[in-house]
Structure 1
Amino acid sequence: MGDLENRVIVITGAARGIGLGIAEAVADQGACVVLADILYDEAQESAKKLGNGHLAVKHDVRKAESAQSLVEKTLEKFGRIDALVNNAGVGPNPTPIQDLTEEEFDRVLDINLRGVFLTTRAVVPHLIKQQSGRIINIASIVGQTGFAMIVPYAASKFAVIGVTQCLAHELAPYGITANNVCPGIVETALHSRVVEQFSAMQGQTVEEGWDFFRNRIPLHRFQTPRDLGEMVAFLASDRAKNITGATFNVDGGWEMH
């Protein structure tokens, strides 16, 4: 029996990448997983691969009605929600500030920040009713220390960390914890695209770009989606019941505070 036996864990952006790694980790600990993603077909396939007892739900984090529908479908199937993992988001699109459009700035914050707000707002009343629950937000190491040419992305992740700390204060009286998990460079298609873009802008080959980032990491290795999943599984468990308002870096040592 795992630490999360029969816990109902809702994960946004769970069809692929980090979200899927989280889904796999918590499912292995016995959780019933709700894979919420705008990529519904992929979410369905991922849910099937996890085995029986899981649910895929189409969810657009930009829309309040989608968040409410996600909650309703989860409660209809499982009757409760024990944890929410706000993972859905868009990655950096490296752009010098003088070339950054208002539309791009708004797009990133709409998904990465407002999306966290809308989904959390829909879930929290049910956690309060239960007098227990976990909120785990996937932020970023650049939400602690900025990096060149990713202003909207870094701004969104700095804000998510702040939101989490506010939630930790606000929801503690109800037995609800809120924590951040900050990935470094993760072996996903999203991060590969970012490295390729940075490399091109610096006049480097892709291999040189990967070496640049690897050399920033004390452990000299990148992270996997499962690495993030293991941290989330811990924070969702009873072993983390006395941890709230904290930020955990899963980055090979890139960020140290």
Structure 2
Amino acid sequence: MPSPPPAQRNGADRAAVAIVTGAASGIGLATARRLLADGYRLGLGDTSPRLAELFAPEVSEGAVVTVVGDLADEAVRRELVEAATEAFGGIDALVNNAAAPGESAEVAAIDLDALRRTLEVNVVAVIGLTQLVVPLLERSPRGRIVNMGSLFGDEPVAGGGPYCASKGAIHTLTRVLAIELGPAGITCNTVAPGFILTPMHAEEVEFQAREQGITAEQRYAELRERVPLRRHGAPEDVADTVAWLLGDDSRYVSGQRIAVNGGVQFG
């Protein structure tokens, strides 16, 4: 028998509430759509002004609140948390998905200001938002955190130092949070996507193709050959995993890195 929707099982007199960042495209958008289908109320954040337009029907129905802004800004993080709390009465889950791709450069040539920006968005903002949400999760009957990692948080790639370092930090941060928050009944896990068809991945593929003097289609084909399932992942593949980690069926799963990569093995 499938699990009942969170509105029926969260132990509170309201639907379950989740915050999802980076919700205007790719994995974040797919995750928001999946959670809405599961009955969640959502606080969504992104830098794109398209965010409110994408969820206009749900906003008008009172199922979604949106905040457009840079989550590296503490005021924006606070606005998102306050908007969701005021609209829905609490927060039960946090999906830290927003990220910057970082500069593509070998370590010897990395621009340090660009590196600081990548770490600010990919690591510092995640910690800052988590700090704001944890007190609310502690009051939830089922607190959940899912941090978005990456295949490249574990697998090094030349020229990808800033992004690899930031996602490696997220993988370790998740394990620390699982230890610290476990006594409060809060689970924390990482989802580590592989080659997923998102706008960020498309930009990277086009860059790699130019560097190699091949077409983007050829580069996509090369990447598919590295995947045992012989296909790129869809954002929905990742969103489904996030939804599972937020639900009751994963209640004893914490501190884990769940790879969603079609079986890719480096080395």
TM-score norm. by structure 2 comes to 0.90
Equivalences for residues 17-166 of structure 1 within 5 A: 17-39=26-48, 41-48=49-56, 50=58, 52=61, 53-130=63-140, 132-166=142-176
Give SS of 2:6's match.
coil
1:11 match = 20
Deviates more, 1:201-210 or 1:71-80: 201-210
RMSD across aligned positions (CA): 1.7
- Separation of aligned partners in 2, 1:37 and 1:31: 18
Give SS of 1:129's match.
coil
1:174 match = 184
Asked whether the 8 Å contact 2:65–2:83 carries over to 1, the reply is no
Deviates more, 1:176-185 or 1:125-134: 125-134
- Separation of aligned partners in 1, 2:224 and 2:212: 16
**Which stretches of structure 1, 4 residues or longer, exceed 4 Å deviation after superposition?**
none
Give SS of 1:245's match.
coil
2:257 match = 247
- Separation of aligned partners in 1, 2:252 and 2:79: 31
Deviates more, 1:49-58 or 1:79-88: 49-58
**Count of residue pairs the alignment pairs up:** 255
- Separation of aligned partners in 2, 1:7 and 1:244: 19
1:4 shift after superposition: 2.9
Asked whether the 8 Å contact 1:3–1:238 carries over to 2, the reply is no
Asked whether the 8 Å contact 2:18–2:94 carries over to 1, the reply is yes
Per-residue deviation, residues 192-242 of structure 1 (Å, max 9, x unmatched): 110111111122222221111111111011111111110011101111111
- Separation of aligned partners in 2, 1:112 and 1:92: 9
Give SS of 1:125's match.
helix
Asked whether the 8 Å contact 2:46–2:70 carries over to 1, the reply is yes
1:188 shift after superposition: 1.5
Asked whether the 8 Å contact 1:2–1:30 carries over to 2, the reply is no
1:223 match = 233
1:131 shift after superposition: 5.5
1:244 shift after superposition: 0.3
1:97 shift after superposition: 2.5
Give SS of 1:179's match.
strand
Asked whether the 8 Å contact 1:35–1:47 carries over to 2, the reply is no
- Structure scoring higher RCO (CA < 8 A, sep ≥ 6) equals 1
Identity %: 35
**Structure 2: stretches of 5+ with no match in the other structure:** 8-14
- Separation of aligned partners in 1, 2:200 and 2:4: 31
| Change over 3 Å in CA distance of 1:191–1:211 after alignment to 2 | same
Asked whether the 8 Å contact 1:135–1:178 carries over to 2, the reply is yes
Asked whether the 8 Å contact 2:102–2:115 carries over to 1, the reply is no
- Separation of aligned partners in 1, 2:68 and 2:218: 38
TM-score norm. by structure 1 comes to 0.94
Asked whether the 8 Å contact 1:59–1:70 carries over to 2, the reply is no
